[in-house]
Amino acid sequence: MSLANAPITAFLCSLRLAFFHAKRKFPKMGLDLNGVNHNYKNATNSCSQMGDDLVIDLGRVDTKKFLMQGVEKPTKYVNKLSAWEMDSLTALGDTFLPAMEPPNTTDESIAYFYRVSPSMIGTPDYLGGLITQRLGHHVFLLRFMLLMLSTRIGTFLMGGFHSLSPQFPFFQKFSQLPLEKRQLIVRSWATSWFKYFRMAFVGAKLL
């Protein structure tokens, strides 16, 4: 049996079985399927043979390549953010999803999930392309926030006293701050009286 005809054969087989089930359940209805006159046993054997042939045919092809046919690859957007903006975006990503010590587990995949941060797997670069080429609303506000966080003065204006350091230089940009202070700044945006800080928190969290 040809692999290309397998879906058609499977459909006809299912239709044939449904017909014979209905005929056995309602014998007085006189159902007929284009003059086909086979008993239920022959129909079942035919379907079983079709399944065996399909397994044999699938064994002769590259199943991974066959199953991946027609599956669209994720779109790769060109990242047009500046190095300063990318520095802030990377720090924001690691603030929301920081790498941490995994719990006691023998599952390597779970341990890997805990140890990996977005910056380790190239997430900021993908998000940079998404912002510049796909995002339709509030792009200017989002990029302005990233630009502000890439400077010491901008970080102080958006983070307040949480961005200050007891050592010189006292003002630091967002990516230079420890994780605890970055998280405090982001949380302060969520409860700020200033509307645009709250919008910045929502936008950064959705990314």
Per-residue pLDDT tens over the stretch 75-120: 667 888 899 999 999 999 999 989 888 888 788 888 888 888 888 8
Mean pLDDT of 40-60: 47
Q: Look at 21 and 158; give whichever has higher pLDDT.
A: 158
Q: Domain containing 150: what range?
A: 124-206
In a domain, 22, yes or no: no
Q: Name the maximum alpha-carbon separation found in the chain.
A: 95
**How much is the average pLDDT of 42-70?**
48
Q: What is the pLDDT of residue 132?
A: 84
Supply the DSSP symbol for 162: G
**CA dihedral sign, ordered 168, 171, 176, 177:** positive
pLDDT of amino acid 29: 46
Q: Which residues contact 143 (CB under 8 A, 6 or more apart)?
A: 81, 85, 131
CB atoms near residue 88 (< 10 Å): 26
* Residue 84 C-beta-side C-alpha neighbours within 13 Å: 13
Is the CB of residue 99 less than 8 Å from the CB of residue 123?
no
Residue 128's φ and ψ, nearest 5 degrees, are -60, -45
Instruction: Let me know if residue 44 belongs to a domain.
Output: no
Rounded distance between C-alpha atoms, residue 57 and residue 1, angstroms: 8
Mean pLDDT of 58-76: 52
Measured CA to CA in angstroms, residue 106 lies from 103, 109, 113 at distances of 9, 9, 13
Q: What is the pTM of this model?
A: 0.60
Does pLDDT of 10 surpass 80? Answer: no
Q: Would you say residue 202 lies in a domain?
A: yes
Cα 198 from Cα 190, distance rounded (Å): 5
3-class DSSP state for residue 137? coil
State the pLDDT confidence band at 56, using cuts at 50, 70 and 90.
very low
Give the model's confidence band at 150: pLDDT under 50 very low, under 70 low, under 90 confident, else very high: very high
Report how far residue 80's alpha carbon sits from residue 82's, in angstroms, rounded to the nearest whole number: 6
CA-nearest of 8, 148, 137 to 89 is 148
**Residues 132, 77 contacting (CB under 8 angstroms):** yes
- Give yes or no for a contact between 207 and 146, defined as CB atoms under 8 angstroms apart: no
CA–CA gap between residue 121 and residue 111 (Å, rounded): 15
- Domain assignment present for residue 176? The answer is yes
Angle between helix axes 123-133 and 83-96 (nearest 10 degrees) is 120
Least confident of 38-47, 120-129, 173-182, 195-204: 38-47
pLDDT at residue 134 tops 80: no
For residue 28, being part of any structural domain is answered with no
Q: How many domains does the chain have?
A: 1
- In-domain check, residue 156: yes
Give the whole-angstrom CA distance, residue 177 versus residue 159.
Answer: 11
53 falls within a domain = no
Q: Is residue 187 part of a domain?
A: yes
Supply the pLDDT for residue 159. 92
* pLDDT tens-digit readout, 169-197: 889 999 999 999 999 999 999 999 988 88
- Of the given ranges (94-103, 123-132, 136-145, 185-194), which has the lowest mean pLDDT? 136-145
> Which pLDDT belongs to residue 18?
58
